[in-house]
Amino acid sequence: MQTVMEKENKSDSGEARSHKGKYLTFVLCGEEYGIEILKVREIIGIMNITPVPQTPSYMKGVINLRGKVIPVVDLRLKFGFQETDHTKEACIIVVEVKDKLTGVLVDTVSEVLDVRSEDLEPAPHLGEGINTEIFLGMAKIKNKVKILLDIDKILCTEEINMFESLTSVS
């Protein structure tokens, strides 16, 4: 017979383990993060970003990608990290969330990882006021922890939806 604690641990790890699969990993502020590869449409170098007035600071503006205007979010600023000048390794990961393309500005792209269920743990409770819903889990690979992000939850905020409505043409 399982104890309540064993059942809780089993359900927690089952949730994290359900997120196994391929992830594109990238670096922000020296730490590695991953997003599901199925959400990634392409990776492009830094290009001219046109600022849009009256948008949050993490909304860097829009780019023209083969005739499509798409918003660009600086993940450093979205996560509350300090802004820095972009190096030649910085790039934009174009992701699709709810049938909309958005560019995500990161320091550098690392690799595509195949994350196995035994590599995964659920995101730890980090205290009150910290939104852990943006984490799919933590992957322990090669003695390092990679934070797996739920890009749908990161990019589906009221501000980004508002920004999308500004850039869409009727």
Rounded Cα distance between 52 and 61, Å, is 5
Asked if residue 51 has pLDDT above 70, the reply is yes
The closest alpha carbon to 96, from 131, 70, 133, 121, belongs to: 70
Encoded tokens for 133: 């819903």
Per-residue model confidence (pLDDT) at position 164: 62
Per-residue pLDDT reduced to its tens digit, 114-160: 999 899 888 777 666 677 788 899 999 888 999 999 999 998 766 56
Per-residue model confidence (pLDDT) at position 61: 93
Q: How confident is the model at residue 4 (pLDDT cuts 50, 70, 90)?
A: very low
Rounded Cα distance between 131 and 75, Å, is 15
Phi, psi of 158 (to 5 degrees): -55, -40
DSSP 47: -
DSSP 53: T
Q: Where in the sequence is the domain holding 146, given as residue range(s)?
A: 4-167
Query: What are the Cα distances from residue 117, in Å, to 43, 82, 112?
Result: 26, 33, 16
Please state the pTM of the whole predicted model.
Answer: 0.82
Q: Provide the CATH number for the domain around residue 19.
A: 2.40.50.180
How many domains is the chain partitioned into structurally?
Answer: 1
Pairing label, strands 68-74, 100-106: parallel
